[in-house]
Amino acid sequence: MAKRFANKSAFITGASSGIGAAVAEALAREGARVALAARRIEKLDDVRKRVESASGVALPVVCDVRDKASLDEAVRKTVEAFGGIDIVLANAGFGVVGQFARLDTDAFRAQFETNVFGVINTIYAALPHLLESKGRLGIVSSVQGRVAMPSSSPYTASKFAVYGLAESLYHELAPKGVSVVCIQPGFVASEIRKVDNNGVFEARRRESAPNGLIVPVEKAARDIVDALYRRHFDAVITGHAKLIAGLSRHFPRLTRAIILKSTGGNVDPRDKPKRRSPSKTP
C-alpha cells in the first residue's frame, strides 16, 4: 500500500513520550521523516531508535517549548536536515490539577507557559515553512478543551484557550492552503498523569484515570495521523471523549448537571472529606 506521508517531513513537540512519541512512530511508518522535539534527550533517543529500527528517519532536537529561541533553533535544524516541514504537531503539554483554592496565579502562569505559549511559540517558529509547503498544523487540545472538569481549572482553561487559538487559525490559514486540525483526546495511556504540577515526572505516581476508559497510545496515534491526513478540523480521539463532547455540544446544561452530580465539584482526592472512624461511644 502507498505510504500516505512519503517524502513529507514532520516536526513534533512532546515527542519524547506518550502521544507525541507514538504519532512520530506512526508518521514514520507512513513514510514521513520526523523531527522529535522535547527536553529529555535520552527519551528522544529511545524514540529515534524505535523509528530507525522500523526503517524510518528521525532527528531528535532538544528544546523547551517555553523558550522561543530554543524552538527557533529546533525548527532551523529540522529544515536544514529535511529541507522543509510539511506537518507540525504542537503537542507538548502537562496538567496542573487541584482545587482552585489550593492553587495560585503562579500555577496558572506555569500551565499557560507550556500548554498555551508553548503552542504559540511552536506555531510562530514553524509557520513560514508550513505556508511554503501548504502543510498541516495539528494542535493538541483535549476533550477538556470542550468540556470543563473540576479540580483542574488551569489545565481546562489552557485547553479551552488552545481550542480557540486553533479555530481562529483554521480560518486564517485555510485560504493560504494550510490546514489546522484540533486534536481533542480523552484518556490516552501516557505519562501525563504521572507528571506533577511543576511538570516533573514521578514514576511512582499511580494512574488516576479510570482503567476501562484509557485508550492505548498506538490506537490514539493512528486516529491522529488519520485526522491530519484528512485535514478535518475537529479530531476528538477516543469513544468516551466523543460521547462527552457530543453530549456537551447538544445538551450543555444536562452535561454540567451530570458532571456536578457525579463529581460533587471535586475530583482531587486531597480535598475529599475523610471518612470518620467509627465512634466508640454511642
CB nearer to ligand NAP: pick between 48 and 134? 48
How do the residues of the chain divide into helix, strand and coil, expressed in percent and rounded to 5? 50, 15, 35
CB of 177 to ligand NAP, least distance (A): 26
**Distance between CA 105 and CA 92 in Å, rounded?**
21
CB nearer to ligand NAP: pick between 85 and 235? 235
Is 152 buried (19+), middle (13-18) or exposed (0-12) by CB count in 10 A? buried
CB of 195 to ligand NAP, least distance (A): 5
User: Are β-strands 33-38 and 58-62 bridged in parallel, bridged antiparallel, or unpaired?
Assistant: parallel
Residue 87, helix vs strand vs coil:
strand
CB of 151 to ligand NAP, least distance (A): 15
C-alpha cell at 33: 521523516
CB nearer to ligand NAP: pick between 33 and 43? 43
CB of 20 to ligand NAP, least distance (A): 5
Q: Is 170 a catalytic residue?
A: no
CB nearer to ligand NAP: pick between 27 and 65? 65
Residues forming a β-bridge with 139: 90, 182
**Distance between CA 64 and CA 118 in Å, rounded?**
8
C-alpha cell at 230: 484528512
Active-site residue identified among 124, 155, 163, 170: 155
Q: How many residues does the chain have?
A: 282
| Beta sheet of 33-38, edge-to-edge order | 58-62, 33-38, 9-13, 87-90, 136-140, 179-185, 234-237
CB of 30 to ligand NAP, least distance (A): 19
Q: Which residues here bind ligand NAP, judged by CB under 6 A?
A: 13-20, 38-40, 43, 64-66, 91-94, 114, 118, 140, 142, 185, 187-188, 190-192, 195, 199
CB nearer to ligand NAP: pick between 103 and 244? 244
C-alpha cell at 15: 515527542
Start-end of H helices in 134-205 = 153-173
Q: Which residues are catalytically annotated?
A: 155
